[in-house]
Amino acid sequence: MLHPIARVLVLASVVVLSGIAGGASAGDLERGKALHDTFCVGCHGASVYTRQDRVANTYGEILQQVARWQGNTQRRWSQQDIESVADYLAVQFYKAPN
């Protein structure tokens, strides 16, 4: 388990890197969907992304939440996997540009 300060630094790095990442390719979206469908829908459905009071509303916030939850569930995804899932969610549910 990461120390709370280390977790904040990791999340801050993810947000900074999100500004560097370019648009998602079809392969990234397919991988993001596959990871999401395999590891995320077991705990919640799509309503978490479409509800009125959702936590994330921008691409940076989506990226933060994906990084947070993959860490909480000890998935140890690569940065590319985190971005692929965030890209998929941004396109599929949030309609947020990345």
Query: pLDDT digits over 22-43, tens only?
Result: 456 767 999 999 999 999 998 8
Any idea where the domains of the chain sit in the sequence? 4-16+26-94
What is the structure's pLDDT at 24? 65
What is the percentage of the chain residues whose pLDDT exceeds 70? 72
Q: What is the pTM (predicted TM-score) of this model?
A: 0.71
The residue written with tokens 């990442």 in the block is 21
CA atoms within 13 A on the CB side of 91: 15
What is the per-residue DSSP string for 58-93? Answer: SHHHHHHHHHHHHHHTT----HHHHHHHHHHHIIII
